[in-house]
Structure 1
Amino acid sequence: MTTTLKNSNLTAEIKHFGAELSSLKNNKNKEYIWEGNPDFWGKHSPILFPIVGTLKNNSYQYNSIEYNLSRHGFARDMEFELIDKKENSAIFSIQSSEETLKVYPFAFELQLIYTLDENSLHIEYKVINKGASQMPFSIGAHPAFALPGNFENYSMAFEKEEPLEYYLLENDLISNKTKKLAVQNNQIPLTYQLFENDALIFKTLESNSLTILENENPILKVNFKDFPSLGIWTKVNAPFLCIEPWFGYSDTPKNSENLFEKEGIQILNGKQTFHSEFTIEIF
């Protein structure tokens, strides 16, 4: 099933499976979300929960028990319930179940709230710890933006001038190797060579937003002020770019496998609620 949201400027479609944004069009019918062609990558904008990235050995320890959890967690592969719907907004929810407890032994509810406002789509996350004890988790976004035509006609611009140092992945884990993005006239030209070693991982940033430009004209901006970390990714020769605000990222090779000690992990006290939001703004 799919839910459609509309205002005078934008139309958004969200699949109930994964509560995944699958389309965002302006009132001239221009599509901004990647179509999900499986020849390149068969998703549009999956939700990453309760981990972001990959665990060392795809496992972790909790109360001396080993649990296995696959890359990016399970929320993206679950059917969400639509619990509220208005013309320009919708709330989707999943809750812990017998199946989730086998791989993640915590009682939770995850809500996704989509709201259209003028030329923007706001995407909110609510993580509710329904248990009495602390709950470790990560959460992140993975929207893929369609970039038709010549990939090298596009560039990206961070909000602030800063040292754009990113970490390299090795075997899906965060290595201690870093590189810096080369900036030209406050922009980073897009080339597939940038992504030959997979995603660019920024553990911290001063910037709160990132703009995609086509032939130096801005086409959209992702505002992520709530989020400390960011991933940027595409597949070589694929006509899309993912801009991924995160709380957390893949393990490092030295990770202890104790989820509470994982770099970037969030710890939510019993009966408490975590809230964050990012926004896609269309020009």
Structure 2
Amino acid sequence: MAEPIRIGNDRLSAAIDPLGAELSHLWDADGRELMTDADPAFWTGRAPILFPIVGRANGDVLRIDGADYSMPKHGFARRSLFEVVTAEEARAVFALVDSDATRAAYPFAFRLEVTFRIEGATLLTEVAIENRGCGAMPAQFGFHPAFAWPLPYGRDRAAHRILFEADEPGDLRAITPEGFIAPEDRPTPLDGRVLRLRDALFDDDALVWDPVRSQRLRYGAPDGPQLDIAFPATPRLGIWTKPGARFVCVEPWHGIADPAGYAGDFRDKPGVFEIAPGDAKRVSMSVTLVP
């Protein structure tokens, strides 16, 4: 097992596991944990990288150009060992390149590079998905970080809420028990721009904004330290936990699970982008601890 890579400064520090290039810890200046406790009674994930799909494919199969490929939920990157390209005091870079194993599930030549950088009280994560093949490469990508709920500042769990940057009119996507996008929507639980967190919100899986207008959220109790979470140019957002768990996931997505019953080509699925040969798609998110 590869050792986690630690980065940080006098205001924030982090540990990243080369398995999945997964952010496993985020600590404030006093060493208080801002991420999930990963209690196995609920979910052992911490912040998996979702690539080359987000959510589930129907039958766990991708249909690409007339061939079928087995693909697990959220893709294979989260279970893949990344190369540690750079490990500096406040910056680390990880890379995953296609192999025989990845091409058996996803027949494309790619390089997935994930950079973690701490500046002041901000952790910035930057991703570059490079197409090294000769044809257009379809893909999806998502972040899935799980933050402590409650945050470690003595405020009650019930006091925590998420404040959206913009108005988010309209209903949300609903998810079937099997994990697919349902044909019907679900009513929004927002009170203005505020999502008041409570377990019952997640009885039927994640809350899914498709599209999301906001590119920034504020999470925490309003009278205590909070997290400012930014995700520029991201079209969709999921918020999820398991009732009773001590985390809440804020998940900016460039993709979405299959609609229930979808049987078309992966290239034509809602939420798929294509990268031209020799080009790269770049996505990012940042987390800032606000006093």
Q: TM-score range by the shorter chain?
A: over 0.9
Matched residue, 1:210 = 217
Aligned to 2:226: 219
Deviates more, 1:88-97 or 1:60-69: 60-69
* In structure 2, C-alpha distance between the alignment counterparts of 1:14 and 1:160, rounded to whole Å: 31
Would you say the 8 A contact 2:65–2:265 is kept in 1? Answer: no
Deviations 1:104-139 (A, max 9, x none): 000111000000011110001110111010110001
Q: Identity percentage over the alignment?
A: 31
Contact 1:33 1:144 in 2 (8 A): yes
Letter in 2 for 1:220: L
Q: 2:101 aligns with which of 91, 99, 102?
A: 99
CA distance in 2, matches of 1:24, 1:114: 12
Deviations 1:171-218 (A, max 9, x none): 210012222334446422111111000001111111111111215545
- 1:201 maps onto 2:203 in alignment: no
Match of 1:136 in 2: 138
Report the TM-score when normalising by structure 1.
Answer: 0.96
Q: Distance in 2 between matches of 1:122 and 1:166?
A: 28
In the alignment, does 2:199 pair up with 1:192?
yes
- 5 Å-filtered alignment, 1:1-283, equals 1-148=3-150, 150-163=156-169, 165-170=171-176, 171-184=178-191, 186-217=193-224, 219-283=226-290
Distance 1:141 1:117 in 2: 20
Which has the larger displacement, 177-186 or 228-237? 177-186
8 Å CA contact retained: 1:156, 1:210: yes
- CA–CA distance in 1 between the matches of 2:97 and 2:214? 33
Structure 2 gap ranges (5+): none
The structure with the largest strand share of the pair is 1
Q: Does the 8 Å CA contact 1:199/1:232 hold for their aligned counterparts? A: yes
Runs of 4+ with deviation above 4 angstroms:
none
Partners of 2:223 and 2:257 lie apart in 1 by 33
Following the alignment from structure 2 to structure 1, what is the Cα–Cα distance between the partners of residues 108 and 182? Answer: 29
More moved, 157-166 vs 214-223: 214-223
Q: Give the Cα separation in 2 of the matches to 1:159 and 1:180.
A: 19
- The 2-side partners of 1:185 and 1:60 are apart by 38
With the length of structure 2 as denominator, give the TM-score of the two structures.
Answer: 0.93
Deviation at 1:164, TM superposition (A): 5.4
Aligned residue pairs total 283
Quote the offset at 1:256 in angstroms: 3.2
CA distance in 2, matches of 1:189, 1:130: 44
The separation in 2 between residues aligned to 1:104 and 1:186, in whole angstroms, is 39
Q: State the secondary structure of the residue aligned to 2:211.
A: coil
Q: Which moved more, 1:133-142 or 1:208-217?
A: 208-217
